[in-house]
Amino acid sequence: MENIALIESFSEFKDDKLIDRVTLMAILEDVFRNALKKKFGEDDNFDIIINPDKGDLEIWRNRVVVADGEVEDSNQEISLTEARKIEPDFEVGEDVSEEVKLKDLGRRSILALRQNLISKIHEHDNTKIYKQFKDLEGEIYSAEVHHIRHRAIILLDDDGNEIILPKEKQIPSDFFRKGENVRGVIESVELKGNKPAIIMSRTAPVFLEKLFEQEIPEVFDGLITVKNVVRIPGEKAKVAVDSYDDRIDPVGACVGMKGSRIHGIVRELGNENIDVINYTNNTQLYITRALSPARVTSIKLNEENNRAEVILKPEEVSKAIGRGGHNIRLAGQLTGYEIDVFREGVEEDVELSEFSDEIESWIIAEFSKVGLDTAKSVLEQDVDDLVKRTDLEEETILEVIRILKEEFEE
């Protein structure tokens, strides 16, 4: 195979992969130099001239003329007799440049050279894709469902890049069909071997933040700032927003008339309940807003260990805690405070921890998870509701209620 024919066969890579001329020349030269090293042991005395556009390639080997019988390195030196076969007037000590034809490398070397070129171009493509998606980390991206597996969905974008949406990164109510378009954020990009692994997430808080940027013009324009986002994916979320322009109501602008602006975001997230609250530097006010829709009577802060004791009227407690304890948990995450709820006017109540001799600690912990830390807070609840909100059996809950009632009957 002649040089030009080989180069012409390489042009398909340039067309298929859309590699720019400079990059292709660099890859070609690297591949040819590797082939020369394998054939001659070194390549520093070779000049490679490539013009991919014209399908032109020249390889020249430079050697020094030495007297007959004194050649020690046949790659770097050439005998006077051999040199004069190229040009009859060469003398000892002069430099000789001789063109190397690719066919001189041998058929095996040419096949290996071609395979090496394919490998290098794939490596270049993967590096390019890695850099492209690394720059997109934390940004919303859209791709089409290509393959549905048990533990992940494989997506393909318009360029044929493979994106993985793992099961744990999907909203629990998500259900996708092949060919359907899916939105999420590019959460991470890693090189596994030479291939980039692109992971998408729909559960990350930043996905909700970016949806606000896409759907609400004031957020996109920077007039409203999203200060913090916390989520229980598919269930509930709280978003703290702020505006540096007093004329703008950040909550009203985000929610829209009758929820018109936020409705699309809620639908995208599988009807996730989204509370939008005004951010403030006033910690007590911030915690009060975070516990919405409950109305707080008073708050006592312990800033040393980031705890807040919140006093509420008895009818407001269930609102503050929320279904499954979601509201109080998210309020704590949003504000950075551990929130303890107390009922207003209940002085004779007893902490559940006081019953540790009769009630096992893991059972007390289960009640605590949903904001029930005192005897009366448990006794005020409906048994069926407690079964739904905790991971406790009805029999266990009834036994706890019996123990607590005995305390107050004594």
Does 234 map to a domain? yes
The pTM assigned to this predicted structure is: 0.63
CA 375 from chain center: how many Å? 44
Whether 12 and 73 share a structural domain? yes
Share of the chain above pLDDT 90, in %: 40
Does 44 map to a domain? yes
CATH of the domain at 190: 2.40.50.140
Distance CA(406)–CA(109), nearest Å, equals: 90
Q: Is the distance from CB of 151 to CB of 166 less than 8 angstroms?
A: yes
Whether 36 and 97 share a structural domain? yes
**Where is 402: in which H helix or E strand?**
helix 394-409
Distance CA(346)–CA(234), nearest Å, equals: 35
Distance CA(17)–CA(128), nearest Å, equals: 11
Whether 50 and 159 share a structural domain? no
pLDDT value of position 52: 59
Range of the domain at 152: 136-203
Q: Encode pLDDT of 92-142 as tens digits.
A: 888 988 887 776 666 666 666 667 676 766 776 777 888 889 999 999 999
Whether 11 and 127 share a structural domain? yes
Neighbours of 295 (CB within 10 A): 13
Query: Is a pLDDT exceeding 60 seen at residue 58?
Result: yes
Q: Encode pLDDT of 158-203 as tens digits.
A: 988 999 999 999 999 999 999 999 999 999 998 776 678 999 999 9
pLDDT value of position 406: 79
pLDDT value of position 22: 63
Last residue of a domain, one of 279, 309, 331: 279
Question: How many domains would you assign to the chain?
Answer: 3
Distance CA(100)–CA(298), nearest Å, equals: 89
pLDDT value of position 272: 94
Does 362 map to a domain? no
Non-local CB neighbours of 48 within 8 Å, separated by 6+ positions: 29, 32, 33, 57, 58, 59
Q: Nearest 5°: CA angle at 120, between 42 and 153?
A: 155
Does 153 map to a domain? yes
Query: Which residue from 153, 175, 185 is spatially nearest to 166, judged by alpha carbons?
Result: 153
CA 263 from chain center: how many Å? 25
pLDDT value of position 1: 41
Kindly provide the residue ranges of all beta strands, DSSP E only, lying in 233-292, ordered along the sequence. Answer: 236-243, 273-278
Non-local CB neighbours of 294 within 8 Å, separated by 6+ positions: 312, 316, 317, 319, 320, 327
What phi and psi values does residue 299 have, to the nearest 5 degrees?
Answer: -135, 135
Does 213 map to a domain? yes
Whether 117 and 148 share a structural domain? no
Does 368 map to a domain? no
Q: Encode pLDDT of 301-311 as tens digits.
A: 988 888 998 98
Whether 107 and 155 share a structural domain? no
Q: Is the distance from CB of 359 to CB of 405 less than 8 angstroms?
A: no
Q: Is the dihedral of CA 117, 120, 126, 128 positive or negative?
A: negative
Mean pLDDT of 324-340: 92
Whether 119 and 150 share a structural domain? no
Whether 233 and 219 share a structural domain? yes
Whether 196 and 250 share a structural domain? no
Last residue of a domain, one of 96, 131, 166: 131
CATH of the domain at 98: 3.30.1480
Last residue of a domain, one of 240, 258, 279: 279
Q: Encode pLDDT of 251-300 as tens digits.
A: 999 998 888 899 999 999 999 999 999 999 999 999 999 999 999 989 99
Q: For residue 400, how many C-alpha atoms fall within 13 Å in the half-sphere facing its CB? A: 33
Whether 14 and 121 share a structural domain? yes
Scanning the structure block, which residue is given the tokens 């690297």? 30
Whether 55 and 94 share a structural domain? yes
Does 157 map to a domain? yes
CATH of the domain at 236: 3.30.300.20
Does 373 map to a domain? no
Whether 199 and 211 share a structural domain? no
Neighbours of 195 (CB within 10 A): 15
